[in-house]
Every structure is written in structure tokens, then in C-alpha cells.
A and B are shown apart, each in its own frame.
Chain A
């Protein structure tokens, strides 16, 4: 029961939804419509589960005085402040929720990703080496794309760098990404088939 029921349900759902793609009958259409919404509803609860796990993890960290436990207060404080600002009508009407979003969430997450610009520059200097023929090809393609996509590169080369960059993007890049995409497509379909047939059961936590 504990193992067979989930495998059976997976098979039924996957089978019906694969078949409905080829059978334009109203009953299959209804199964399809309900499945779409079920997927979203069950999915929402799994996100709630994730947030609950985050809270319990930080509470445990504080309770057991684990490494850097003091920071957990900040995480939990931020979480509850945001929830209060969004759900307590008096705070919400004052625009507290949007204020926290604009002045805390927005600047931190935007800056975190911008840090990568510095690390890319550093990596370009330290690790981007023409050690072999294929590394040189990669390096040249990157340089031409970088110079070919900015106005200065266009001016410097009288339009040559943009022309090379466009060709690289539209011909070899298309071929490379297409080869990868075809592999991904076949891989996805075969993995989905394995799930449907109960061969792939990682969602059962190892059983």
C-alpha cells in the first residue's frame, strides 16, 4: 500500500494526461483542466511546506545554539515582519508591505546578483586561459560576442565584431544549443516515461 499506491497513482495520472494530448474528447479535456489546477493547488502546499521547513530549521538552530545561530533571529524576524506587514490590515493599509519590499528585498537581491560582475572580471583574468585548442575557441567566441554586442566594439572594428558575433550566435551557437536541446528533449521524455512506469521513484525518498 505504502509503495504501490503512489506508483499506481503516478501511472494513472501520467497515462491519462499523455493520452489526452492525442484524444480531443471533452471528458479528457476536463481531466486536463482539473489536473492543471490540481497541480497548482498541491504545488502551493508544497511551497508552504518549504517555508514551514525554513522556520523549523531556524528555530532548531536557535534552540540548539548551532553555528551562527544568532543570524537565525534576523531571518525569522524578516519573515515575520513581512508576513505581519502583508496580512495585518492596519499595517498593510499604510503600505508597509510594499515599503519592506522596495527598501529591503529589492536592494539586497539586486546587489547580490550584481556581485557576480566582479567575480566574472576576476575569473576572466585568472582562469580564462588559452591552454588548448578548444579552450582558445571558447575564449575567442566569448571575446567576439562581448565586443560585438556593445557600441564601442562596433565603432572600433567598423562593424566587423558585430558581424562576427551575429554569425557566431546564429550558426555555430544554434548548432551547439540544438544538439544539447535534442539531447535534453529525449532525456526529459525518457525520464517522464520512467516516472510513469514506476522505474524512477526518487520522490518516494529512496524506497
Chain B
């Protein structure tokens, strides 16, 4: 392996070093790279949206096939045009006089989102999690049974800690204390994993500099 001769790799290496220069102190090169990535990301997203949403959702059904595969026939096309119209209404936010019209599509998004969330959130995050906390009687007296019991105690005490309608004093206070210990172990585990994640990303960048750019490692 040798030093790269690809101008693209040199540009990428230069920008990587621009960002790393922030570790010394905030500087011109870091700010240039920082502002550049904002613009490039927005531009990239815009192109992706045009290619990956406007074409399949509008160009194909309205102009090429004159049929929408979700609801075939004129009703489908009408519903598609309505959706586009509602989408365009969002831009009325730029007008002082008609900005209230932007609330209509936002209200619809919120309504649809809320309708999806109510049953599925309760099922996924409450019912299924409570079901999983029921101890299997076959495991009583075993290591697994003991761990299941600890999970139940941890969940109940954790929930008690989040219950603020009663002062955390006496028995409630003691249970809440167990809850905060449990939560701290959970947060500690998350911290350990966070360190791990960020280091992986650093290794990735160093690998790029040493392998792809400088050609020091094979």
C-alpha cells in the first residue's frame, strides 16, 4: 500500500482533519467543514426525496400510469391530488395572512399519528412488557427464577420511583430507592455501551486515514 493519489481521498482526508482540528480549539477549518456538511446534507436529502418520493408517489401514478395502485380508479387519483394539495398548504406558513391553513395538514398528520400510536404503544410497551415480567412457575427455585424475581422487583421499584403523586417517604421511599439503584445500573450499562460506540467510530476514521489515505496499513 502507498500514499493515495486519488484527489477524492485527499479531499476526504482534509475534511476529516478539519473536523479533528476542533479538538485543539474551535477554528476556521472546522467551521468551514461544519457549514459545508449542513448544506451538502440538505442538498443530498432534497435530491433523494425528489427521486425516491415525488417520482413514485406523483409522477408515475398521475402522469405515467394514470392509476394509483393503493386505490385504483379516479377516486385514487383524486385522493392523491388531495394529499399533494394538503402538502402544498404547509408552505402557507410563509404567509402572514394564510399561515393558519398550514395547520390543516399538520392536524391530519398529528391525527393519523395519534391513531396509530394509541393501540400499538399500549400493546408493545405496556402489555407485552408486563406479560414478560410474569414469573414462570417452572423456574421457581432456579437461577433463572431468581433473576426473573429480580426483574420484577426492579420493574416495580423503578415504576415506584417514577410515581410522583406520593411523597417518597417511608416504605414508598425505600422501594423508590431500590428503583433508583436499578435505574443507575441501567444508565451505567448505557454509558459503557456509549463509550464503546463512539470509539468504534473513531477507529473507523483512523482506519480511513492510515489505510485509504496514507497507505500505512494493509
Contact = CB atoms under 8 A, between A and B. Distances in A.
A and B touch in the complex (CB under 8 A): yes
Q: Which residue, of B110, B120, B161, has the highest number of chain A Cβ atoms within 10 A?
A: B110
B49 A44 contact: yes
A179 B115 contact: no
A86 B30 CA distance: 26
Interface in A136-154: 137-146, 149-150
Interface of A: 2, 5-7, 9-18, 20-22, 30, 33-35, 37-49, 51-52, 54, 68, 71-72, 74-83, 85-87, 97, 99-118, 120, 124, 134-135, 137-146, 149-150, 165, 167-186, 188-189, 192-193, 195-196, 203-205
Contacts of A193: 114, 118
Interface of B: 8-9, 11-13, 15-16, 18-20, 22-23, 31-51, 53-54, 57, 70-71, 79-80, 83-84, 86-88, 90-91, 93-94, 100, 103-122, 124-126, 129-130, 132-133, 147, 150-155, 157-159, 161-162, 179-189, 191-196, 198-199, 201-202, 204-205, 208
Tell me the dominant secondary structure on chain B's binding face.
helix
Given A15-B115, A39-B113, 4 more contacts: A75-B39, A118-B202, A120-B195, A186-B125
A30 B191 CA distance: 45
B46 A176 contact: no
A86 B43 contact: yes
Given A34-B79, A168-B189, A188-B117, A179 B158 contact: yes
Contacts of B71: 30, 33-34
A181 B181 contact: no
Contacts of B157: 179
